[in-house]
Amino acid sequence: MAIVSPSLLAADFLHLDSDIQMINDSEAEWLHLDVMDGVFVPNISFGFPVLEAVASKCKKALDVHYMIVHPEQYIKQTAKLGAMMMNVHYEACTHLHRTIQEIHDAGMKAGVTLNPSTPVSVLEDIIADVDMVLLMSVNPGFGGQKFIENTIAKVKRLKKLINESGSKALVEVDGGVQAETAPRLVAAGVDVLVSGSYVFKAPDPLAVIRELRSL
C-alpha cells in the first residue's frame, strides 16, 4: 500500500479549516507542505504563519518540502512545528551532509529532493543517511503540471541505488500524480505519492485518497 501525502498547495486557502478536516478524516497518512520563496523556484507559496496554523489542526504527519535557498536556516523553526519530515533540495544545499545531520539532530526525518534534470547518481554518497528521496516529476514551482515521463525510469534507478547501498530511504514522487500515473509509479518502486489537484479538486477527495492508498 502506498503512503499518500496530499499537497496543501492545491487546497482552498479561503477554507483551509475544512480542507484540513477532510485530510484528518481521510486515509492519508501525511500532509505535504510546499514552501516556496520566489528565488529557488519562480513562485511564492506560504510561510510559517500558515504552517503553524495547519500544524495546530492537522492530525496527520507533516511532510514539509522546502523549495527555497538556505533551507538550513529554518531547521529549528520547522522542528518546533512538530514536522515529521523536512525535505530539502539537493540543488539548494552546498553542504548537504551537514544539513541532513542537523535535521536529524533536531528530531526530524530528513528528505532530499531532486529536480527533474538532476540525476540520482548525485546521491551515491548521501543515500545511506537520508530517510527519503523526493523526485520531482514536474518542474517545481506550480501545481497542475504535466507529468514528466522520464520519472518512471528515474524511480527504477533510484530504487536500485537504495537497494545496492543498503539504505532504508523511502521514494516519494511529486507532480502529475493521478489515476494514470500513480499505478505505474508504485509498480516502479514509489513508496509515497504526493498529489495536489487530483485530490483537492476531486468531487470526492476521500475516495481519491483511498484509491491512491490501495495501490
**pLDDT for residue 146:** 87
The answer to whether 34 is a known catalytic residue is yes
Domain boundaries, the chain: 3-213
Asked whether the predicted pLDDT for residue 161 surpasses 80, the reply is yes
Q: Which fold has domain 3-213?
A: TIM Barrel (3.20.20)
- 166-188 per-position pLDDT tens digit: 999 999 999 999 999 999 999 99
**pLDDT for residue 141:** 74
- Residue 100's closest CA among 133, 67, 69? 133
Percent of the chain having pLDDT more than 70?
A: 99
- 74-109 per-position pLDDT tens digit: 999 999 999 999 999 999 999 999 999 999 999 999
Taking the C-alpha atoms of residue 34 and residue 204, their distance in angstroms, rounded to an integer, is 23
Taking the C-alpha atoms of residue 94 and residue 35, their distance in angstroms, rounded to an integer, is 19
Neighbour-count burial of 166, counting CB atoms closer than 10 A to its CB (0-12 exposed, 13-18 middle, 19+ buried): exposed
Catalytic residue among 34, 37, 125, 204: 34
**pLDDT for residue 207:** 98
Catalytic residue among 19, 63, 131, 174: 174
Laid out side by side, the sheet with 85-89 consists of 3-6, 192-195, 170-174, 132-136, 109-114, 85-89, 61-67, 30-36
**How does residue 52 score in pLDDT terms, banded at 50, 70 and 90?**
very high
The answer to whether 37 is a known catalytic residue is no
Asked whether the predicted pLDDT for residue 145 surpasses 90, the reply is no
pTM: 0.96
**How does residue 140 score in pLDDT terms, banded at 50, 70 and 90?**
confident
Amino acid in the structure at residue 47: G
Whether the Cβ atoms of residue 160 and residue 137 lie closer than 8 Å to each other? no
